[in-house]
Each structure stands twice: as C-alpha cells, then as structure tokens.
Amino acid sequence: MERLVEVLEQEVRIDFALNCKCRANVRLRSLCATTPIAFKVQTSSPNKFLVNPPSGLVPPLSYATFQIILKPQTQFPPTFPRSPSDRFLVKASEFTTNPSESTHPDSINSWFSSRPHGSTQDLKLKVAFVGPVLLRHAVGRGDVEAVRNLIKRQKFILTELSPRESESLLRVATQLVSPDEMVNLLVEAGLKIESRVRLNNNTSHVVESRWASKGLDELHVAVAFDQTDEMLSLIKLKEYRSLDCRDKEGRTPLDLAASKGNIGCAKLLLESGVNTNTKCKDGRTALHRAAANGNHRMVEMLMDFGADPTITNDRGQSAVDVARDKEHKEVVEILERGEQVLMAARRGELERLESLLQKGASMNYCDQYGLTALHAAAIKGHRDAVLMLVKFGIDLECKDNEGHVPLHLAVEGGNLETVEVLVDKGADVNARTIKGVTPLYLARAMCYDDISEFLISRGASSCITAFSSS
C-alpha cells in the first residue's frame, strides 16, 4: 500500500522549560492526489501530553498541522534528549464518506472508531526534549553525551545564546571536575563569548589549554570566539607568522570562520589576503565547509574573493557536490551561477550574462585552468561581454594557472577591438606570464601586426621578451 501521509521529522522536538506548557508543531503532508486523508493522533503518555486537534483532515496533496502540548512539569526529564517512554501514533486513512457528513474532529474520531482493524496506516513519532534550559542542566551535571545530542538536534542552539549566556555556560563547564571534554565540545560546536579577558583565570586556562592541544594559535582562538577586534590586533603585528597558520588537522583560521559561520572574521581574513583555497588534511576548503553548513552568505563572500568551487576533497567531492548532498538548494544555485557566468561570457550571451551579474553571481569563478569569465570573453573576442564584465568590476589583471591575464588571451584571439577595450580600461600592456611572455611578445609571435602596433602606441615595451626555458 502506498503511503498516505508523511512528516518532515520522525521526532517531535519539544523546547523544554520547567513549570510551564511547552509546545511543538507537527506538519502532516498528504501524498494522495485525489482523496482527503483523515488522521487521528494518539499518545502513549496522555497524563503528560495534549494534542490539538487530536484528529482532522488533510486535503489532497496539501498540509495540516497539529500541536503537541507538554503539560507543566516540575522536574527535568529523567532522560533526554530522547524520551524512550513518550511516543505518538498518527493513524491515517482515505476519508471516503458522504459529502454531507461532518468533518468536526469529534466526528472524524468516531469515523475512525468504525473502521475495521488494519484499515489504517500508522505513522510513529518519537519524542525528544531540547532547548537551552536542558543544555545548561546537562552541562552542569557533566553529561557530555546529552550535550552532544542536544547540539546535534538543534544545530544553532549555542550561536543563538547571548554573550552573557554563553560566558555563563562556559563557566559552568569549567567548574566540572574534569572540564576539558565539555569545554572542547561547546567551543567546537560554536559557543561564542564577547571577550576572553572577561573570563576568570580558570576558564581561560581550560580554554587556552584546549586550543593548544589541537595546535591552534591566537588567531584561531580569536576566530573561534568571533572576536574581530582581537583578530585585527594580531593581523597588524608585523611579526605575526602567517594568516594561513594551521592546526593539527590542517585547518586555517578561514576554515574555522567558515565552519562556525563567523562572517565578520572571514571577511577580515579575506580582506587581509589569506589564501581562499587552502586544503586541510581531508582535502576540504573553507568553501566546502560553508557549503556543508548551507551558509549562503559565507558561500557568496568566499566566491567573491576567488574561492574555487571545482576543488575536490579527498572523497572526490566539490563544494557543489557537498551542497547537493545536504540538499542546500540555495547554495547549489549560488555555486552554479559562477559557472554559468563563465559559460555566458564564453558564448557572448549578453542578456544571460547581465541577468546573472545583476543577481549577484560571482565573476571570480574560474575553471580547472584558472580561466575566469573575462579570460573566456577576451579570447573569443566578445567585446561587449568584456565591457559588461569590466563595468561590473571584474579584476583586469586576474591570472590563469600559467599567469595569463585577459589581455594575453585577447591578443591570442586576434581581436583588435577587444584588445583596445581592455587597454582603454586600464589593463597592463606589459603584463607577464609565469614564463615572462608579454602581450606584445605574443602578438609578434602570432604575426598580428595591427595589435603589435597598437600595443606599442600604448606604451608596450618592445625590449621585453619571454624568459628562457632553461
């Protein structure tokens, strides 16, 4: 028998608090295209829970929502997040009856009672208690496994805490007999504090010891705590060893910023010149991490600073592959836009190119050879596409893997008008590849006399030649 209904999550997650009603909504989706689906909700713990409404109808291929209400509790759940004794059963059946019959919940409940045994489909829902109240309780009693499971179910539970709540939670953790594992878990999961100097000595010692054991230095720590002021101070130190310093797993500060979603830290690092495409030991880049988190703002910013979505990790996955696996559709669209810009530029599709650029698509995407949209438009002689890309602010001196700037490729394409546009817009007529090839050297080698004369007229040095291959 085909399924009649489905739910997004097989677990009802209730944000727990003492001495007050706690609620969670469950959304049912009908999978039947022709007939309304009747549903009835039963609970294994009627002394603890209410259901509103306890029964109802779901229109064909539509949705219906019911609410689970936990009655006020005076004590913490004996086990959490998962509650093994609390469950819900959703009974579903096609509602085939007279159109005039009442659809009131009581009537539907009676209708279910008249159904023969085995004529309904049953959907089982488990119960989990979550939320910051239980998180603090679990941290206080040193229950690392409960804390880990709470964070797993509520990914952003730590990042949504205020700075004061975060520091308070960290202090509770450091007061445990053996605090290191708990502190490590909280900080790795994204716990933020406003300022390290506000911590007491014991807390600072535990936190710093934890970072030291993982091979992270001060810049990593500042990123982890989202402290841009401290980062700026470290970056300004002339003796600071490297902005691309790595921990024992090969992670750079940018990797950490991308993992934790710290936009301000990532932006500061990118503007200070970090390598956008460094790989850690498992082959992941910062873009892989941002894509896995579904963080479209971080992905867009990394792409704007030249992050390469084609780089693969040790499992052969690109950032696009990771985003697809996680079903982050918005991120997939952003990552694919860069490739679409490159293709539109290569084909000279001006309307498509303009539409993509107006939507904020990255111009810095490059293929496996390091070619950007401007390289592609230049070598194909698409003068208007070149003008459009320049208008939108693309870097005239961007280089491919061999050091070619777009002007080199415009010369190679033999299109004088495209060469003129690039030079008029400020391209360096004496730019050199890794092997020392200049645009003029290339023009002469390919016998493009008109381009050679133009380049010389605009200041190209005729004495610059390619480096010797020896």
Q: CA 82, CA 101: separation in Å to the nearest integer?
A: 40
Q: Which of residues 129, 152, 181 is at a domain's end?
A: 129
* pLDDT interval class at 213 (50, 70, 90): low
Please indicate, yes or no, if residue 345 is contained in any of the structural domains.
no
Predicted local distance difference test score (pLDDT) of residue 469 = 43
Predicted local distance difference test score (pLDDT) of residue 447 = 94
Q: Does residue 172 share a domain with residue 109? A: no
Q: Does residue 254 share a domain with residue 154? A: yes
Predicted local distance difference test score (pLDDT) of residue 421 = 94
Give me the residues paired with residue 42 across strands.
89
pLDDT score of 214 more than 70: no
* pLDDT interval class at 198 (50, 70, 90): very low
Per residue in 152-181, pLDDT (tens digit) is 998 878 878 887 888 889 888 888 888 878
Q: In whole angstroms, what separates CA 153 from the centre of its chain?
A: 17
Q: Does residue 153 share a domain with residue 249? A: yes
Determine contact, residues 464/435, Cβ cutoff 8 Å.
no
Predicted local distance difference test score (pLDDT) of residue 98 = 57
Please indicate, yes or no, if residue 328 is contained in any of the structural domains.
yes
Per residue in 261-284, pLDDT (tens digit) is 889 999 999 998 899 999 999 999
Please indicate, yes or no, if residue 414 is contained in any of the structural domains.
yes
Q: Does residue 164 share a domain with residue 302? A: yes
Please indicate, yes or no, if residue 374 is contained in any of the structural domains.
yes
Per residue in 25-45, pLDDT (tens digit) is 999 999 998 889 999 999 999
Q: Does residue 122 share a domain with residue 203? A: no
Torsion sign across C-alpha atoms 241, 243, 246, 250: negative
Q: Does residue 296 share a domain with residue 175? A: yes
Determine contact, residues 64/39, Cβ cutoff 8 Å.
yes
Give 150's contacts (C-beta < 8 A, 6+ positions apart). 80, 81, 130, 131, 134, 135, 138, 157
pLDDT score of 84 more than 80: yes
* pLDDT interval class at 196 (50, 70, 90): very low
Q: In whole angstroms, what separates CA 62 from the centre of its chain?
A: 30
Predicted local distance difference test score (pLDDT) of residue 194 = 52
Give 69's contacts (C-beta < 8 A, 6+ positions apart). 21, 22, 23, 49, 50, 51, 52
Please indicate, yes or no, if residue 319 is contained in any of the structural domains.
yes
Of 258 and 196, more confident: 258
Q: What b-and-e string marks burial along 109-142, b requiring 16 or more CB atoms within 10 Å of the CB?
A: eebbeeeeeeebbebebebbbbbbebbbbbbeeb
Per residue in 92-112, pLDDT (tens digit) is 988 876 555 555 666 777 777
Of 1 and 411, more confident: 411
pLDDT score of 238 more than 60: no
Neighbouring CB atoms inside 10 A of 99's CB total 5
DSSP one-letter string for 413-470: HT-HHHHHHHHHTT--TT---TT---HHHHHHHTT-HHHHHHHHHTT--TT--PPP--
* H-helix or E-strand spanning residue 400: none
Of 261 and 200, more confident: 261
Residue 403: CATH number of its domain: 1.25.40.20
Predicted local distance difference test score (pLDDT) of residue 216 = 64
Q: Residue 330 in 3-state DSSP?
A: helix
Stretch 50-64: mean pLDDT, rounded? 92
Predicted local distance difference test score (pLDDT) of residue 280 = 92
Q: Does residue 32 share a domain with residue 15? A: yes
Determine contact, residues 86/50, Cβ cutoff 8 Å.
no
Query: Average model confidence (pLDDT) for the chain?
Result: 86
Q: Which tokens is 181 given?
A: 């594992």
Predicted local distance difference test score (pLDDT) of residue 118 = 67
% of the chain surpassing 90 pLDDT: 51
Residue 32: CATH number of its domain: 2.60.40.10
Of 183 and 252, more confident: 252
Burial class (CB in 10 A: 0-12, 13-18, 19+), 14: buried
Q: Does residue 260 share a domain with residue 165? A: yes
Predicted local distance difference test score (pLDDT) of residue 346 = 92
Q: How many domains does the chain divide into?
A: 3
Q: Does residue 159 share a domain with residue 206? A: yes
Predicted local distance difference test score (pLDDT) of residue 155 = 80
Determine contact, residues 184/210, Cβ cutoff 8 Å.
yes
Taking the model in full, what pTM does it have? 0.51
pLDDT score of 197 more than 70: no
Range with lowest mean pLDDT among 136-150, 219-233, 372-386, 435-449: 219-233
Predicted local distance difference test score (pLDDT) of residue 204 = 52
Please indicate, yes or no, if residue 353 is contained in any of the structural domains.
no
Q: Does residue 290 share a domain with residue 170? A: yes
Q: Which of residues 102, 129, 156 is at a domain's end?
A: 129
Please indicate, yes or no, if residue 342 is contained in any of the structural domains.
no
Predicted local distance difference test score (pLDDT) of residue 470 = 36
Q: Does residue 212 share a domain with residue 314? A: yes
pLDDT score of 211 more than 70: no
Q: Which of residues 129, 164, 179 is at a domain's end?
A: 129
Q: Does residue 231 share a domain with residue 138? A: yes
* pLDDT interval class at 367 (50, 70, 90): confident
Of 8 and 438, more confident: 438
Please indicate, yes or no, if residue 469 is contained in any of the structural domains.
no
The boundaries of the domain holding residue 242 are 134-333
